[in-house]
Structure 1
Amino acid sequence: MYFNGVYHLFYQYNPKGAVWGNIVWAHSVSTDLINWIPLEPAIFPTKPFDKYGCWSGSATILPGNKPVILYTGIVDGNQTQVQNYAVPANISDPYLQEWVKPDNNPLIVPEAGVNKTAFRDPTTAWLGRDGLWRILIGGRRKNRGISFLYRSKDFVKWTKAKHAIHTSAGTGNWECPDFYPVSKQGVNGLDTSVLGENVKHVLKVSLDATRFEYYTLGTYFPEKDRYIPDNTSADNWKGLRYDYGNFYASKSFFDPSKSRRILWGWANESDTAEDDIKKGWAGIQLIPRTITLDPNGKQLLQWPVEELESLRGKNVHLSNQQLKSGDLLEITGVTPAQADVEVTFSFPSLDKAEPFDPSWRNLDAQDVCSKRGPFVQGGLGPFGLLTLASEDLKENTPVFFRIFKDSDKHVILMCSDATRSSLKDNLYRPSFAGFVDVDLTDKKLSLRSLIDHSVVESFGAGGKTCISSRVYPTIAIYDKAHLYAFNNGTEVVTIETLDAWTMNSPKMN
């Protein structure tokens, strides 16, 4: 949340070790979203209503500029989940370091018929025109994902609506729901309570069964408290995702200081618990992103917050550089293990786009990428960046595009392929991928990759498709890492412009 000039990040944390357990709400603060100061945990188990853990939730700023946190507590060994609240002990403390959990907790308990072990993660509240506050709580009924709706006049006494705001069959337990408006006009973010004709709503859920998220865009009907997704994307596991890689339990908030909505996503480790213990930590917050509605109205666009550019150091610029079939161009002059790279590729024609196999239409992008990887020659592509590469190329994490022709349209595939990212064993190394919904009239595709030692965050076509990969090179580390642009398609590709920056280190926890 943003409060009185300070950004507050609360996150699930184990103060007693690098593996899961003993979960509290850790607390860090920043004035620029980049440099962070760790504080003492804000919420930790001390009461019967959170004896078995203080789990995910959200913050809401109430009228009178009063922040309140809603969070899930577990009250017994049977995993019964309830919703609690906490308020600052001293509102004049600029860092809000101490939080109080009043004795009238819990505010919400699962009623009869609600799965009490799948009843968690309250959202930021929004205020309706009728003066009632509303929140969503994630859950499931058998294998149907549910967002329960609760209403309150005073933020203390909450009543469950007769109908859930939305459900979807076959999606399993919904964790960490997020529900917020986006503007149909312009790029400004909206406060969570904004309603109106020029607004669409986003419902995002984290899928406990698959450990990835999906979202839909749609219409919220306040008088009925129902959300109806548009029919432009699937309302299930095949739906739109913020990120097609290592990205989960995300949360957005409205930043009034710059009129923007900011998204935080978490990336867990892809190596083993033993490795986590050796490191002494596990899991990272990815770079915060702004969220806007794509002008096509069918999806969201995401982009790293502008403050990230304050870390940019030495710059390398290239332009009008041709990449013929098989070319590998090294980008020198920056630190490849910690860099920000923006590149625009162009191509003279779409004629060499390879046919899209009809049998792939029921596959997701990751399956297609595993069949047509970065070193399988195509027509138009694969082309892109080879990040965190060793000199002998035994280790590398390619981020690339391939363009296919499928009957009367083109299919653009974006991949972040971790299969050769490390020589270590026991790693999760998929070829993460997503399709890119972009008009190729100008015969150009852009890519931005944030490379940071064990993570590569990539944004395709201005943030239409985003992929984050956790990778653990053993050779391509520090000054032994290399960065290349490549083309393994038969069609010549031109680097219209490429800018790469060495990234300086922020103040981190």
Structure 2
Amino acid sequence: MEQVNTLSRARAYEAQHRTPAERRPLFHAVPPVGWCNDPNGWSCFGGQYHLFYQYHPYSNTWGPMHWGHTVTTDFLHWQDRPCALAPDAPFDRNGCFSGGAIEWQGRQLLLYTGVMPEGSAEIQQQCLAVGDGVDYQKAAAPVISCDEQPAGASRKDFRDPFLFRQDGMLYMLLGGRGFNGHGRLLLYRNPRPEDPAAKWEFVQVLAENDGSLGSMWECPGLFTLEGRTVLVVSPQFVHQAADDRYHCGNDTAALIGDWNGPGTPFVRRADRPLDSGLDFYAPQTLETPDGRRVLIGWMQNWDHCYPPEGAPWYGQMSLPRELFWKGETLCQRPVAELDAVRRLRTEHRSVEVDGQPLALEGVHGRVLDCELTVDVHEAPRFGVRFACGQDRWAEIRFDLDDGLLRLDRRHAGGFRDALELRETPLLFPVGDTLRLRMVLDRYSAEFFLQDGQQVASMTLYNAAPEADGILFFARGRARMDLQLYDLAL
């Protein structure tokens, strides 16, 4: 009865304490109440897109991990489903950590990392639950124990299964750590994954960290897009590198290369950060029925987890983003479904920006989609302030002579001396024209730079709801075209 009671308790609590819609973002996924972090099980099942997530319903801070659950058909409107998993079995009593989901023989398989105590430490093992899109039954024991790794592997860093099918097999890609402390990606397969007794076969170490990109690699992902293979990893304990593309601590990376399938080596050709902003981690991707590769991430940073006092929920997901190539560059753009709900509010052409911050008629708001095209050939600096009001604002700034992007929310109402400012290299050539798309949704801002060649995200939990001013500034003289859209949601 422990499993039913623990899960039913979580479900009853979230139903009784559900946050009203006016206190949530309009089109980003958040928990009904409590805390959330990494997206889990981002997948298609039963004609809907399912998003699970790391979840602690009973407070707005991290706690024993459950799996929350929400669904969507358009990536913009989210419907809460009951809590899917609770840490109520001996093998996951310390938490149901991240994992994946897939449709298999008409059922939805969840494969997740169960955390259990071992002496004074913890171990991590891979666990199975099978369900119908609402209710899930756990297998009686882990399906891959921490002992089923290559020799010298960590027992406490063995987690976050990602799932894909190929040649009638289900494959599982896991993050692990070798004897040298460096992260590595482990590939397993099983022709009968729905059967808890069917053994998972170890295939290979698909990729290994040489120590230049953090230590442990969490939350792996794998996909092929137009003939090129991409491995997604979320490195921990990244040290600052000479080129400053990756920031210290936890970050995300796309490893781009060649792979001819299971049993063959992954040959890494390039890598790039997936988000250059203040808040982004642990992304997952899915392929839509019409062939788009769509990414979603946790729009938060572990070094900035300070919920506002009395907040009923904390932690939100990014806007789902379509991945595509522009030459050799892996780019991102908002899902096409967002374009379909845009309604032009106002448009300005050939606006000259110089000197003092400039306000424009009709340009304000905290829920909007705005596109800028800026002639910067006489402006070594250009920027936008948003969420402005009562001496508060956040800003994005381009220092073009130095090739730097700067994100700053120090003046947006925060109450701790925490991560509020980031300066990072621009990953694209600007030339004379800068293109910027800005998407705001009450508690967040996401920026798509130069047609998605670089993306930057930040949360705005402490900015007052009425702080909706937008200002433009430059050093030198910039000339700007602007289209601002309301969203018919």
Normalising TM by the smaller chain, what interval? Answer: 0.7 to 0.9
Q: 2:257 aligns with which of 218, 221, 238?
A: 218
**SS, match of residue 337 in structure 2:** helix
Distance in 2 (CA, whole Å) between partners of 1:218 and 1:273 is 34
Aligned to 1:431: 422
Aligned to 2:19: none
**SS, match of residue 160 in structure 1:** strand
Shift in Å at residue 139 of structure 1? Answer: 1.6
Shift in Å at residue 336 of structure 1? Answer: 2.0
Tell me, which stretches of 5 or more residues in structure 2 are unaligned? 1-42, 238-248
Does 2:397 match 1:400?
A: yes
Distance in 2 (CA, whole Å) between partners of 1:176 and 1:277 is 30
Q: 1:153 aligns with which of 166, 180, 191?
A: 191
Q: 1:254 aligns with which of 287, 295, 301?
A: 287
Shift in Å at residue 223 of structure 1? Answer: 5.8
Aligned to 1:478: 465
Query: What's the TM-score, normalizing by structure 2?
Result: 0.80
Q: 1:175 aligns with which of 202, 215, 218?
A: 218
Distance in 1 (CA, whole Å) between partners of 2:364 and 2:206 is 48
Taking structure 1 as reference, are residues 104 and 269 closer, same or farther at Cα in structure 2, changes over 3 Å only?
A: closer
- Contact kept, 8 Å, 1:11 with 1:25, in 2: the verdict is yes
Q: Report the structure, 1 or 2, having the larger strand content.
A: 2
Query: What's the TM-score, normalizing by structure 1?
Result: 0.77
Does 2:384 match 1:385?
A: yes
Taking structure 1 as reference, are residues 206 and 423 closer, same or farther at Cα in structure 2, changes over 3 Å only?
A: closer
The residue type equivalent to 1:386 in the other structure is: R
The residue type equivalent to 2:117 in the other structure is: D
- Contact kept, 8 Å, 1:182 with 1:202, in 2: the verdict is yes
The residue type equivalent to 2:50 in the other structure is: H
The residue type equivalent to 2:395 in the other structure is: P
Residues 5-59 of structure 1: per-residue CA shift (max 9 Å, x gap): 2111101110211111121111111221111111211122232222221110011
- Contact kept, 8 Å, 1:212 with 1:247, in 2: the verdict is yes
Aligned to 1:322: 352
Q: 1:500 aligns with which of 468, 484, 487?
A: 484
Taking structure 1 as reference, are residues 331 and 5 closer, same or farther at Cα in structure 2, changes over 3 Å only?
A: farther
Does 2:105 match 1:105?
A: no
Residues 329-383 of structure 1: per-residue CA shift (max 9 Å, x gap): 2133254222221111124x4xx6xxxxxxxxxxxxxxxxxxxxxxxxxxx3311
Q: 2:337 aligns with which of 297, 307, 313?
A: 307
- Contact kept, 8 Å, 1:29 with 1:36, in 2: the verdict is yes
The residue type equivalent to 1:248 in the other structure is: Y
Distance in 2 (CA, whole Å) between partners of 1:314 and 1:493 is 23
Shift in Å at residue 403 of structure 1? Answer: 2.0
Aligned 1:205-354 pairs, distance under 5 A: 205-209=233-237, 210-222=249-261, 224-230=263-269, 232-233=270-271, 239-256=272-289, 258-268=290-300, 275-276=307-308, 278-294=310-326, 296-297=327-328, 299-309=329-339, 311-312=341-342, 315-323=345-353, 325-347=354-376, 349=377
- Contact kept, 8 Å, 1:314 with 1:501, in 2: the verdict is yes
Q: 1:413 aligns with which of 404, 412, 419?
A: 404
The residue type equivalent to 1:119 in the other structure is: F
Shift in Å at residue 221 of structure 1? Answer: 2.9
CA RMSD of aligned residues (A): 2.4
Residues 96-142 of structure 1: per-residue CA shift (max 9 Å, x gap): 111111235334433352201000001122315xx543221102223
Aligned to 2:171: 134
Taking structure 1 as reference, are residues 331 and 459 closer, same or farther at Cα in structure 2, changes over 3 Å only?
A: same
Taking structure 1 as reference, are residues 425 and 51 closer, same or farther at Cα in structure 2, changes over 3 Å only?
A: closer
- Contact kept, 8 Å, 1:143 with 1:172, in 2: the verdict is yes
Aligned to 1:51: 93
- Contact kept, 8 Å, 1:176 with 1:250, in 2: the verdict is yes
Q: State the number of aligned residues.
A: 425
Aligned to 2:47: 5
- Contact kept, 8 Å, 1:135 with 1:149, in 2: the verdict is yes
Residues 45-92 of structure 1: per-residue CA shift (max 9 Å, x gap): 232222221110011233x4443221100132531111111111x4xx
Taking structure 1 as reference, are residues 169 and 118 closer, same or farther at Cα in structure 2, changes over 3 Å only?
A: same
The residue type equivalent to 1:340 in the other structure is: D
Aligned to 1:120: 159
Tell me, which stretches of 5 or more residues in structure 1 are unaligned? 91-95, 184-198, 234-238, 353-379, 405-410
- Contact kept, 8 Å, 1:403 with 1:413, in 2: the verdict is yes
